C-alpha cells in the first residue's frame, strides 16, 4: 500500500500475495484512503475567508523529500515571477507557470496551466495559456491579483487562461474545459464558496507591456460578480468604486471586500448590502505590489492596511479594537489566525523581532508572547522574502530567510534556510507536505534546494530492525555473473591517450593528454537516441549514458558500432569511469554498478543506503539517495557521494569502495542538522551563506577530495581545509545556463544578491572551463554584474560573452581611483574585472570545451544575442552548430567546421587523436584527421 498515493487504486489480477498484509478478499481492487488529518489549499490564501491557515495536522518541519520536479530554476530574479499561482485539491496541485527559456528571460514567455499529482509530482496535463502579465515587468512590482486567478474545488479548476479572458471551469482530471462563464471577461480575482463563484471583474482589455511602475495604477471602478458555478447563471453584480485587490472573500452567507477606506459586507445570495464600516486607516502610498488584508474569522473581521490592524464585528462592522501592524517586505502585513489567536508582528528586516504576539480576535488583547527570533537563529538575509506568510493550526510557516516553522502553542521557531518559496508567491502547506516552487534566488546557493520540491516530515521506519539488518555492508553488495573473473591483464593497462572518466581525469580538468589535429572530418556517427551524457573513451570503446533510458552504451571507438548495452534501474546522469578493465558508474536508483568493460557483464552492485526507498524525481522513479554517474577512481578505489541534501533524509553519504570487489572501505556522512535535535544549527548561517552541502560528481587533486565547494580527506572522507579547484555552486552537471551561476576555479563561492556576481570577478569563471598546470581556459561572461533592471534580460549589452585564458591564481584588475573633483554624490565603483592572459570575442555559444596540447576546441551554437526569436532558435540548436579550434597562445582561430547538431553541455572528449561529441539530437559523432 505504500506505493499508492492517497486515493490511489490497486487492482489485483489474482488473489493478494502471501504475507502482503492484505486479507483474502472477494474484490479485485483496493483504494488507499486519504488521511483525514491532511488538508487542501484551494485558494491563494487557503480558502474564501482569506485566512492563509489550513487545518492540516500532518504538516511538520521538513525532513524528507517526497518528490521533486522541474524546472530547476525559475527564469529571473529581476522580473515577473515564473509562477503566478498554485493551489491544491483532490490529490492534485495546479499552477500557472512560465515555461519559457531559462537561458535568457528576454526570450518570450510561455505560460501554461499545469496539473501535477500532489503526492508524486508527475505532470498529469497542461493547458496553453494566452496573453499574460508582461514577463519583463520589474521585480517586486506586482500585480498582486495574479495569484487570485486560480482556484480549485473538488474535481474542478476555475481559472482565467489569459488577461482579459473569461473564467473557465476545467475538469481537474483531464484538463478539458467544462464551462466558459459568460460576462466574466476581465476577471482579476476568483473566490469559490458554497457552489458560487465570486469574481472581481475589471478591464477586459488584453494585457500590453506594462511599465515597471513602483506605484499602484490609478483606481478604476470594478464589479463584484456572483455566479452559480454549475449553471453559470449570474446571481448578482455590484459596482465597487475603489475595490482593493486581494480583499474579496466570503464566509457563512456573507461576501466582503474593501472599498476605499471602508470594509463592506453584502449578502452572498443577493448582493444586498449588510453593512459598511466607518473609514479606517489605510496605507497612504501604495506600491504596485501592495494589497491590504481583510480576513474573516468566526464573528470577527480583521482589517490591516498600512500600520494598523483593526478588529471589526462581523455582524455590524463596528470597530472592536485596534493594534499596531506593519507592512512586510514587498508584501502586505501578516494577519494569520491560528490556534484561536491572531498573529502579526514586525519581520520586514532582519533586525526586527518577528511575530512575537498572539492576540485575542475579539478584543485584541495580547494572549501569548514569545521571544524575538534573534534569540533562536540568525536570518542571514537582510530582509524578509518577497511573499506572504502562511500556516496551519499548529505552525506558522514564515519566510524570513528560508522557511521558518513557528509553533503557535509553544512559541518555538525552527529555521530552514535551505528551502524557500517562489518570489511573489511563496510556499504552500497542504496534503501533509510543504510545496516549494522553483525560485531564482542566489542566497545560500551552495546548500539550498532547487527545483519544485514537495517536502515531508521526518519519516519513521515501520520495520527498523529489518532495515538495520538490510543496512549491513555485506547485504548492500551484490555479486554479478562476472564477479571474480580474471580479465586479460593487457586490457587493464591504462592508455595515456584515453579519456577514461568525465572531463578526462580525476581533477576534471577537461584537458587531453595528447594533441588533436585541427584539420578534422567526421569519421562516424552513431544514432544512439534519447538524452545523452558526455562520453568517456578507453579500452577501444566509447561509453555514453542514455540518461532517461537508464542505459549505458559501449560503442567501438573506431567504427561507432554498438558493442554492448547495459540497462540499470534508473537514470544515469553522466558517463561511466573506466579503470582496470572495468566500467563503473553511479545510478539514480541508489546503486553503483561495476561492469566488465569488454562485454558489459555485471561484476558487482552496491546499494548506497540501508533502505531502498524510491520517490518520483523529474517524472521518474529514483532513490532517495541517488549516486552521480561518473564516480571517482583512484588507486584501485571507487569514491562517490549519494543523497540529495545534507539537510534531508539523513544527509549525503560519501563512500570509498574496493574497485575489484565492491567491498566497503570507508563511509562518512555530511549531515548539517544537529545530530541530536536534527535542527539547523545556528552557527551554520553566515550572512547570505549557509553551511551545508548538495551532491555532485567528486574530483581530486591527489591530496583532497572535492564536492562542489567542499573539501574532504581521501582516506576517511572527513572535512578538509579549503583549496582551489574546479567546481560550480549548482553542480558540474547543471546544464540550465541560469543567469546567477557559473563554473569557477577557486576555493569558495559567495551567495546572495550582493555576492553571487562577485566571485566571478575575482577568480577564473565561466559557463565552461578547462585547465592545465598554470592556466584556466574558458567561455563565459567577460564581467559579472550586480542587479539592474536589465540583468538577465539584456546580456548582449550588459554581460557580453568571450573566450579567454587566465592564470590559475589570477586576480581582479586594479581599479582606478575615483577623481575627487569628478566624484558624484553616492557614486559607486563598478564591479571588479578579471585580469586575462588573452580575451577574444566568441562567434558561438560554447556548450563544450576541450584542451588538447596547444589547441582549445570549443563547440556550440551561433551567437545571436539574447533577446530575439533568432537568438532563441540558435540557442535551441535550430540554426546549426560549429566546432572551432583556437590557439592557446592568443585565442587566434586555427580552424572551424560545421556540426550536424549542437553538443550537449560539456559533451566533448578527446582521445587517440580524435574528438568525440554527444549531441542534443541523440548522436555520438567522432571526428578524426582528414
Q: Does residue 218 register a pLDDT over 50? A: no
Q: Does residue 77 register a pLDDT over 60? A: yes
Mean pLDDT, range 24-39, rounded to an integer? 81
pLDDT tens-digit series, residues 647-683: 999 999 999 999 999 999 999 999 999 999 999 999 9
Q: Which residues contact 319 (CB under 8 A, 6 or more apart)?
A: 277, 278, 280, 310, 311, 312, 313
- Cα 98 to Cα 95, 105, 174, 185: the distances in Å are 10, 10, 21, 22
CATH of 473-814+829-929, one of 3.30.70.20, 3.30.470.20, 2.140.10.10, 3.40.50.920: 2.140.10.10
Q: Does residue 798 register a pLDDT over 60? A: no
Q: Does residue 193 register a pLDDT over 90? A: yes
pLDDT bin (cut points 50, 70, 90) of residue 877 is confident
Residue 419's nearest CA partner among 391, 400, 432, 406 is 400
Query: pTM surpassing 0.75?
Result: yes
Mean pLDDT, range 569-590, rounded to an integer? 98
Share of the chain above pLDDT 70, in %: 91
Q: Does residue 206 register a pLDDT over 70? A: no
Residue ranges covered by each domain of the chain: 1-33, 79-207+220-441, 473-814+829-929
Mean pLDDT, range 361-365, rounded to an integer? 98
Do 79-207+220-441 and 473-814+829-929 share a fold?
no
Computed from CA positions of residues 155, 156, 157, 161, in that sequence, does the dihedral angle turn out positive or negative?
positive
Q: Does residue 95 register a pLDDT over 50? A: yes
Q: DSSP state, 79?
A: B
Mean pLDDT, range 397-417, rounded to an integer? 97
Query: From CA 682, how far away is CA 374, in angstroms rounded?
Result: 10
Q: Are strands 9-11 and 29-31 parallel, antiparallel or unpaired?
A: antiparallel
Q: Does residue 831 register a pLDDT over 80? A: no
pLDDT at res. 125:
99
Q: Does residue 567 register a pLDDT over 50? A: yes
Chain position carrying cell 590559475: 808
The torsion angles phi and psi of 35, rounded to 5 degrees, stand at: -55, 135
Query: From CA 304, how far away is CA 294, in angstroms rounded?
Result: 7
Contact 69, 214 (CB under 8 A): no
pLDDT bin (cut points 50, 70, 90) of residue 334 is very high
Mean pLDDT, range 116-137, rounded to an integer? 96
pLDDT at res. 930:
79
- What kind of architecture, by CATH, is found in domain 79-207+220-441? 7 Propeller (2.130)
- Cα 283 to Cα 105, 244, 306, 335, 417: the distances in Å are 33, 11, 4, 16, 31
pLDDT bin (cut points 50, 70, 90) of residue 207 is very low
175: alpha, beta or left? (left if phi > 0; alpha if psi -120 to 50)? left
Q: Which residues contact 33 (CB under 8 A, 6 or more apart)?
A: 6, 7
pLDDT bin (cut points 50, 70, 90) of residue 283 is confident
Q: Does residue 345 register a pLDDT over 70? A: yes
Query: From CA 527, how far away is CA 553, in angstroms rounded?
Result: 11
- Higher per-residue pLDDT: 306 or 744: 744
Chain position carrying cell 532582519: 350
Mean pLDDT, range 376-384, rounded to an integer? 92
DSSP string for 570-598 = S---SPPEEETTEEEEEETTTEEEEEETT
pLDDT at res. 795:
43
Mean pLDDT, range 164-183, rounded to an integer? 97
Burial class (CB in 10 A: 0-12, 13-18, 19+), 854: exposed
Q: Does residue 783 register a pLDDT over 80? A: yes
pLDDT at res. 281:
85
pLDDT at res. 285:
75
Mean pLDDT, range 96-105, rounded to an integer? 93
Q: Across-strand partners of 93?
A: 88, 116
pLDDT bin (cut points 50, 70, 90) of residue 789 is low
Query: From CA 278, how far away is CA 262, in angstroms rounded?
Result: 6
The C-alpha angle 485, 486, 487, rounded to 5 degrees, equals 115
Q: What share of the chain is helix, strand, coil (3-state, %, to 5)?
A: 5, 40, 55
For 464, the enclosing helix (H) or strand (E) is: helix 464-470
Mean pLDDT, range 752-758, rounded to an integer? 91
Q: Which runs of consecutive H residues, i.e. helices, occur in 16-71?
A: none
Mean pLDDT, range 430-442, rounded to an integer? 97
Beta strands in 750-809 (DSSP E): 765-766, 768-771, 775-781, 801-807
Other beta carbons within 10 angstroms of residue 289's beta carbon come to 19
pLDDT bin (cut points 50, 70, 90) of residue 825 is very low
Query: From CA 120, how far away is CA 528, in angstroms rounded?
Result: 30
Amino acid at each position: 500500500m505504500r506505493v499508492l498515493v492517497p486515493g490511489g487504486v490497486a487492482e489485483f489480477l489474482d488473489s493478494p500475495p502471501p504475507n502482503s498484509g492484505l486479507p483474502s478478499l472477494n474484490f479485485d481492487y483496493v483504494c488507499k484512503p486519504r488521511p483525514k488529518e491532511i488538508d487542501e489549499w484551494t485558494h491563494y490564501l487557503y480558502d474564501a475567508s482569506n485566512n492563509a491557515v489550513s487545518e492540516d495536522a500532518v504538516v511538520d518541519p521538513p525532513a524528507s523529500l517526497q518528490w521533486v520536479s522541474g524546472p530547476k530554476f525559475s527564469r529571473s530574479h529581476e522580473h515577473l515571477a515564473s509562477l503566478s499561482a498554485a493551489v491544491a485539491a483532490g490529490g492534485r496541485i495546479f499552477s500557472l507557470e512560465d515555461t519559457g527559456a531559462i537561458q535568457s528571460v528576454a526570450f518570450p514567455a510561455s505560460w501554461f496551466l499545469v496539473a501535477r499529482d500532489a503526492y508524486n509530482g508527475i505532470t498529469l496535463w497542461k493547458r496553453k495559456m494566452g496573453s499574460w502579465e508582461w514577463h519583463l515587468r520589474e521585480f517586486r512590482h506586482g500585480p498582486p491579483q495574479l495569484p487570485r486567478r486560480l482556484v480549485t474545488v473538488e474535481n474542478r479548476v476555475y481559472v482565467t487562461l489569459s488577461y482579459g479572458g473569461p473564467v473557465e471551469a476545467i475538469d481537474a482530471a483531464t484538463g478539458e474545459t467544462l464551462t466558459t462563464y459568460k460576462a466574466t471577461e476581465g476577471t482579476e480575482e476568483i473566490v469559490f464558496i458554497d457552489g458560487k463563484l465570486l469574481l472581481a471583474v475589471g478591464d477586459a482589455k488584453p494585457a500590453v507591456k506594462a511599465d515597471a511602475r513602483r506605484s499602484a495604477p490609478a483606481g478604476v471602478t470594478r464589479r463584484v460578480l456572483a455566479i452559480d458555478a454549475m449553471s453559470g447563471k449570474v446571481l448578482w453584480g455590484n459596482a465597487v468604486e475603489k475595490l482593493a485587490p486581494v480583499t474579496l472573500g466570503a464566509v457563512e452567507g456573507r461576501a466582503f471586500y474593501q472599498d476605499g477606506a471602508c470594509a463592506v459586507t453584502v449578502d452572498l445570495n443577493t448582493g444586498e448590502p449588510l453593512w459598511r464600516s466607518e473609514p479606517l486607516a489605510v496605507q497612504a502610498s501604495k506600491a504596485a505590489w501592495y494589497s491590504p488584508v481583510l480576513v474573516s474569522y468566526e464573528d470577527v473581521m480583521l482589517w490591516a492596511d498600512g500600520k494598523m490592524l483593526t478588529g471589526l464585528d462581523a455582524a455590524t462592522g463596528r470597530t472592536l479594537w485596534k493594534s499596531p501592524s506593519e507592512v512586510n517586505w514587498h508584501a502586505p502585513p501578516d494577519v494569520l489566525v491560528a490556534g484561536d489567536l491572531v498573529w502579526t508582528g514586525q519581520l520586514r528586516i532582519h533586525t526586527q523581532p518577528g511575530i512575537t504576539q498572539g492576540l485575542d480576535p475579539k478584543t485584541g488583547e495580547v494572549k501569548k508572547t514569545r521571544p524575538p527570533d534573534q534569540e533562536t537563529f540568525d536570518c542571514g538575509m537582510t530582509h524578509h522574502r518577497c511573499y506572504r506568510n502562511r500556516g496551519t493550526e499548529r505552525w506558522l510557516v514564515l519566510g524570513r530567510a528560508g522557511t521558518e516553522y513557528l509553533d503557535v502553542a509553544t512559541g518555538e521557531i525552527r529555521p530552514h534556510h535551505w528551502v524557500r518559496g517562489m518570489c511573489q508567491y511563496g510556499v504552500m502547506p497542504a496534503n501533509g507536505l510543504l510545496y516549494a516552487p522553483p525560485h531564482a534566488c542566489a542566497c545560500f546557493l551552495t546548500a539550498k534546494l532547487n527545483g519544485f520540491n514537495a517536502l515531508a516530515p521526518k519519516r519513521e521506519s515501520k520495520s527498523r530492525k529489518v532495515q538495520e539488518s538490510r543496512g549491513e555492508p555485506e547485504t548492500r553488495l551484490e555479486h554479478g555473473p562476472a564477479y571474480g573473473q580474471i580479465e586479460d591483464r593487457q586490457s587493464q593497462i591504462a592508455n595515456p591517450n584515453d579519456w577514461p572518466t568525465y572531463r578526462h581525469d580525476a581533477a576534471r580538468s577537461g584537458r587531453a593528454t595528447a594533441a588533436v589535429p585541427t584539420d578534422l572530418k567526421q569519421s562516424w556517427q552513431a544514432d544512439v537516441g534519447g538524452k545523452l551524457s558526455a562520453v568517456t573513451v578507453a579500452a577501444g570503446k566509447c561509453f555514453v549514458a542514455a540518461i532517461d533510458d537508464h542505459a549505458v552504451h559501449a560503442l567501438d571507438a573506431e567504427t561507432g558500432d554498438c558493442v554492448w548495452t547495459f540497462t540499470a534501474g534508473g537514470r544515469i546522469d553522466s558517463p561511466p569511469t573506466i579503470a582496470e578493465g572495468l566500467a563503473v558508474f553511479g545510478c539514480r536508483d541508489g546503486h553503483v554498478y561495476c561492469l566488465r568493460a569488454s562485454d558489459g557483464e555485471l561484476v558487482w552492485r552496491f546499494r548506497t543506503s540501508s533502505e531502498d526507498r524510491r520517490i518520483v524525481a523529474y517524472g521518474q522513479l529514483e532513490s532517495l539517495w541517488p549516486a552521480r554517474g561518473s564516480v571517482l577512481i583512484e588507486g584501485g578505489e571507487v569514491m562517490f557521494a549519494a543523497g540529495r541534501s545534507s539537510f534531508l533524509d539523513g544527509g549525503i553519504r560519501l563512500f570509498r569502495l574496493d574497485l575489484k570487489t565492491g567491498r566497503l572501505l570507508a563511509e562518512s556522512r555530511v549531515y548539517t542538522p544537529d545530530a541530536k535535535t536534527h535542527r539547523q544549527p545556528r552557527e551554520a548561517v553566515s550572512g547570505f551563506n549557509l553551511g551545508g552541502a548538495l551532491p555532485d560528481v567528486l574530483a581530486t587533486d591527489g591530496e583532497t577530495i572535492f564536492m562542489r565547494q567542499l573539501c574532504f580527506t581521501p582516506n576517511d572522507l572527513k572535512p578538509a581545509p579549503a583549496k582551489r579547484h574546479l567546481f560550480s555552486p549548482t553542480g558540474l552537471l547543471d546544464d540550465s545556463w541560469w543567469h546567477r551561476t557559473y563554473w569557477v576555479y577557486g576555493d569558495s563561492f559567495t551567495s546572495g544578491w550582493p555576492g553571487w556576481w562577485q566571485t566571478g570577478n575575482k577568480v577564473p569563471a565561466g559557463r565552461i572551463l578547462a585547465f592545465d598546470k598554470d592556466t584556466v581556459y574558458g567561455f563565459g561572461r567577460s564581467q559579472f554584474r550586480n542587479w539592474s533592471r536589465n540583468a538577465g534580460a539584456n546580456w548582449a549589452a550588459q554581460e557580453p560573452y568571450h573566450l579567454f585564458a587566465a592564470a590559475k591564481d589570477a586576480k581582479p584588475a586594479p581599479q582606478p581611483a575615483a577623481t575627487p573633483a569628478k566624484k558624484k554624490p553616492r557614486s559607486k565603483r563598478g564591479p571588479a574585472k578579471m585580469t586575462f592572459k588573452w580575451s577574444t570575442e566568441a562567434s558561438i555559444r560554447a556548450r563544450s570545451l576541450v584542451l588538447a596540447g596547444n589547441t582549445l576546441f570549443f563547440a556550440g551554437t551561433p551567437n545571436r544575442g539574447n533577446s530575439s526569436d533568432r537568438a532563441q532558435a540558435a540557442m535551441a540548436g535550430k540554426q546549426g552548430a560549429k566546432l572551432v579550434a583556437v590557439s592557446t597562445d592568443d585565442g587566434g582561430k586555427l580552424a572551424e567546421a560545421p556540426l550536424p547538431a549542437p553538443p550537449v553541455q560539456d559533451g566533448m572528449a578527446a582521445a587517440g587523436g580524435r574528438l568525440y561529441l554527444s549531441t542534443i539530437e541523440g548522436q555520438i559523432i567522432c571526428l578524426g584527421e582528414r
